[in-house]
Amino acid sequence: MSTPSPSDVGRLVHLGIGNFARAHTLHATDMAGGWSVVAFTGRSAAMADALNAQGGKYGLIVRGAEKDEVSVIDVIDEVFPASDVDALVRLLADPFTAVVTLTITEKGYAAGSDPATSAPARLALGLKARREAGVTEQIALVSCDNLTGNGEVLREAVLAELDEETAAWFADHVDVISTMVDRITPSADEKAGDTVREQAGFEDSVPVVTEPFTEWVIEDRFRGRRPEWEKAGVQFTDDIEVHELRKLRLLNGAHTLMAYAGQVAGVERVDEAISHREVRALVEQLWAEARETLPLPADELDAYTAALEERFRNPRLADNLLRIAADGSVKLPVRALPVIAELGGPDQAPGEVAAVAAWTAWVTDRVAGGGEVKDPRAAEIASAAALEDATERVSSLLALLDVPAIDPLVDAVLAEERRLPRP
Ligand code: CS2
């Protein structure tokens, strides 16, 4: 095992260049210095044209409770649309490429075998080409998505697409790394472009707005080269799981609860949801339950939730609940259902059940009102949510969560649905 030396440089390829990656992963890579970065878009290819037209640069607005700090980040060399599979294969077959980071969202890991639409399938093609090119240097695949054991999930997804020979080569040549990522990054507001122009003199068609807080904890098992992310305050650890669980269950769990319960109660933004007396009480309840499953000292958890509350209250961030409400069918199984199961069932976890009930209630209201539910299972959600009989409706919705049935969950969800605050 070779420890990366500070003089090591290489190319980092990033998959999924949305707002979050530009606020977090690539910003940290910029601060680490020295590396070349090539990025691929998520589903929207338009981001490639927009960023290439401005030389890969973008404005980053760090929006504190009191003021904005604007900088122009110049770390990306080139952006390709996700559909350019040849470009990715070429880059992975090049020994200079040593790291691939991914922000492809939770649903990106279950996207099937078609390289045109599945990042794991594209990576499998790239790794095959790397083996065939005789590259001996290790490459690291680094997952930056909100999943427990995101490295393991990525490893499984890529291995499932690999031919036998490349699968055998994989163990010696590929590291798959889990990480915990955190920086709340809302959709940019309409004035963000003006803010970047006024404060940094840069004309930007795709600016990023983010919060001051940022955290990245990475599993410490690279055999090959990697950016010196320590320079950006990144923490390396031998025990990634506890960091992932803390963040997913406390931050993302509360986010999911607020996204649905907040909208059902008639508010639109995170700062409004956390200030809503009854929604906030539900968040406190969910936190109390999630904490029971986390092997961390009480004072550390107190400090963490207090800091979360302050972040959620940031009055200038304007984080829309609708952003967080997307993809509930893949978020709830990571954020809420494991806590219910670990605590021994719905009776032990009413706050977590409320998160699930807020989802079933919200999709039901939304479908009834003709609104869009953004979710990989949107069509099935729409038919389940329209069922007349409440028990059938809730059981059909829960069946979409792809987790083993928790027995009395349907009744518990129905009961919590009735208790949710309404306008
Ligand atoms: C949010 C996350 O979209 C969501 O579901 O919970 O994007 C959240 O803002 C980030 O994980 C914060 O680090």
Contacts of 77 (CB under 8 A, 6+ apart): 36, 37, 38, 56
Count of CB atoms within 10 A of residue 317's CB?
A: 23
- Which candidate, 63, 66, 12, places its Cα nearest to that of 39? 12
Nearest Cα neighbor of 336 from 307, 293, 274, 373 is 293
Strand order in the sheet with 76-80: 76-80, 36-40, 11-15, 97-102, 139-143, 174-177
Q: Sketch the domain layout of the chain as residue ranges.
A: 11-238, 242-419
State whether the beta carbon of 184 lies less than 6 angstroms from ligand 1.
yes
Residue nearest to atom 5 of ligand 1 (CA): 324
Domains 11-238 and 242-419 belong to one CATH topology: no
- Closest residue by Cα to residue 395 from 360, 346, 354, 348: 360
Q: Is the CB of 243 under 6 A from ligand 1?
A: no
Q: Give the integer Cα–Cα distance in Å for 312 and 319.
A: 9
Q: Ligand 1 centroid vs 43 CA: distance in angstroms?
A: 18
Q: Are 316 and 64 in contact (CB under 8 A)?
A: yes
Q: What angle do CA 203, 208, 213 make, to 5 degrees?
A: 140
324 pocket-lining for ligand 1 (C-beta < 6 Å) = yes
- Fold for the domain defined by 242-419: N-(1-d-carboxylethyl)-l-norvaline Dehydrogenase; domain 2 (1.10.1040)
> For position 6, what pLDDT does the model report?
45
Q: How far is CA 219 from CA 141, 155, 242, in A?
A: 12, 14, 11
Nearest atom in ligand 1 to the alpha carbon of residue 24 is 13
pLDDT digit string, tens, across residues 68-108: 999 999 999 999 999 999 999 999 999 999 999 999 999 99
- Among 143, 145, 146, 374, residue to substitute to test ligand 1 (most atoms within 8 Å of Cβ): 146
pLDDT score, position 221: 95
271, 324, 330, 335: which to mutate for ligand 1, most atoms within 8 A of CB?
A: 324
Q: In this predicted structure, what is the pLDDT of residue 111?
A: 79
Strand 179-182, strand 215-219: pairing: antiparallel
- The DSSP bridge partners found for residue 177 are 142
Residue 200 and residue 59 in contact, taking contact as beta carbons nearer than 8 Å: yes
Could you say which residues of the chain have pLDDT below 70? 1-7, 407
Measured between alpha carbons, how far is residue 265 from residues 122, 220, 256, 327 in Å? 42, 43, 14, 20
Q: Is 146 in the pocket of ligand 1 (CB under 6 A)?
A: yes
Task: Output the CA torsion 359→294→305→398 (10° steps).
Answer: 0
Q: Tell me, yes or no, if the pTM score tops 0.95.
A: yes
Residue 205 Cβ < 6 Å to ligand 1: no
39-52 per-position pLDDT tens digit: 999 988 999 999 99
The partner residues of 181 in beta bridges, in order of sequence, read 216
Q: How far is the CA of 172 from the centre of ligand 1 (A)?
A: 34
Q: What is the pLDDT of residue 1?
A: 41
Q: Whose CA is nearest to atom 8 of ligand 1?
A: 184
Does an H or E element contain 63, and which? strand 58-63
Options 3.40.50.410, 3.40.50.300, 3.40.50.970, 3.40.50.720; CATH for 11-238 is: 3.40.50.720
Atom 1, ligand 1: residue with shortest CA distance: 324
Q: Is the CB of 183 under 6 A from ligand 1?
A: yes
pLDDT confidence of residue 5: 52
